[in-house]
């Protein structure tokens, strides 16, 4: 493992308040022509970490994707993770047990409400968790923020993350990618996950990727299996390129758009649930 020790101020003692004022200025420099080569080379230290959101429906493999990124890139980058669950810290405990990072670098936010509420409507709890993590382990290269499992409309606020990955999986059906929605359509990267399962669920992966590419107007789509070295390397290169662009001031966080109205089942609600929007 490389030495991620840097000159920095020590973290506050337990119980002391954190100062959440951070310098969000970017260095405005030209991006290197070969982004992958630049990302693999020596890059000046960022003013703060690249904050990378990971969203998608329940069961698509968001936690496994984050574990994969940590396992593959922790040897070259200083990483941290924030997970979101409604009532538990299940995803954080999964990642800690996987041994992909120092357990102290993996922290949980219990949202207590719709998963997307804490990543889009009121990001305070997540933002404070990210800033605490950045302060305690400064400087970090990348902080991954995992949304709780949600529907196809879930997106992160650009006030919380700099870029976002939306995750689908082949077990959800080959037609899901062409259904669209702000997450599928406008996230910085769409991952079609668990492609090794395609023969068992009758999904044509090239067609699913083609449908997704059409739905995204040509924005990047990655067919991923943790068992396929080429796709894993492509994911690593995407993270490296995004980090290089962030450090160079060449990436501007985009708002994928408001969530569509949607229904939440609730046995305690008189109508059995509630239809609402997050415009």
Residue given tokens 């409604």 in the structure block: 86
CA dist., res. 120 & res. 136, Å (int): 25
Confirm whether residue 15 is marked as ligand binding. no
Q: Which of 244, 197, 243 is nearest to 224 (CA)?
A: 197
Confirm whether residue 139 is marked as ligand binding. no
The three-point CA angle 36-41-45 to 5° equals 110
Confirm whether residue 62 is marked as ligand binding. yes
DSSP state at residue 118? I
Q: Which of 205, 156, 129, 176 is nearest to 55 (CA)?
A: 156
Torsion-angle region of 132 (φ positive above 0: left; ψ -120 to 50: alpha; else: beta): alpha
The three-point CA angle 127-130-131 to 5° equals 85
The three-point CA angle 110-114-116 to 5° equals 90
Confirm whether residue 174 is marked as ligand binding. no
Confirm whether residue 180 is marked as ligand binding. no
Confirm whether residue 58 is marked as ligand binding. yes
Confirm whether residue 60 is marked as ligand binding. yes
Confirm whether residue 59 is marked as ligand binding. yes
Classify strands 163-169 and 50-55 as parallel, antiparallel or unpaired.
parallel
Strands in the chain per DSSP E: 50-55, 79-85, 106-110, 142-146, 163-169, 189-193, 221-223, 262-265, 273-276
Q: Which segments are annotated as binding site for GTP?
A: 56-63
Q: Which segments are annotated as binding site?
A: 56-63
């Amino acid at each position: 493992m490389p030495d991620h020790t840097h000159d920095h101020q020590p973290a506050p003692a337990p119980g002391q308040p954190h100062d959440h004022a951070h310098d969000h200025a970017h260095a405005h420099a030209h991006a290197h022509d070969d982004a992958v080569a630049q990302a693999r080379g020596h890059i000046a230290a960022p003013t703060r970490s690249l904050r990378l959101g990971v969203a998608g429906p329940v069961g698509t493999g968001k936690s496994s994707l984050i574990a994969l990124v940590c396992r593959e890139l922790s040897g070259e980058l200083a990483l941290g993770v924030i997970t979101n669950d409604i009532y538990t810290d299940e995803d954080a405990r999964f990642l800690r047990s996987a041994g992909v990072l120092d357990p102290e670098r993996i922290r949980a936010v219990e949202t207590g409400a719709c998963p997307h509420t804490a990543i889009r409507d009121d990001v305070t709890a997540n933002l404070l968790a990210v800033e605490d993590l950045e302060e305690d382990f400064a400087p970090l290269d990348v902080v991954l923020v995992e949304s709780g499992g949600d529907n196809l409309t879930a997106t992160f606020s650009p006030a919380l993350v700099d870029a976002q990955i939306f995750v689908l999986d082949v077990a959800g059906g080959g037609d899901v990618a062409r259904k669209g929605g702000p997450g599928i359509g406008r996230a910085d990267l769409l991952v079609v996950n668990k492609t090794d399962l395609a023969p068992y669920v009758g999904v044509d992966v090239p067609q699913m990727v083609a449908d997704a590419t059409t739905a995204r107007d040509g924005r990047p789509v990655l067919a991923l299996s943790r068992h396929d070295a080429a796709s894993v390397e492509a994911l690593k290169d995407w993270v490296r390129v995004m980090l290089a662009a962030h450090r160079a001031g060449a990436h501007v966080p985009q708002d994928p758009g408001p969530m569509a109205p949607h229904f939440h089942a609730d046995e305690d609600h008189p109508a059995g649930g509630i239809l609402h929007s997050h415009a």
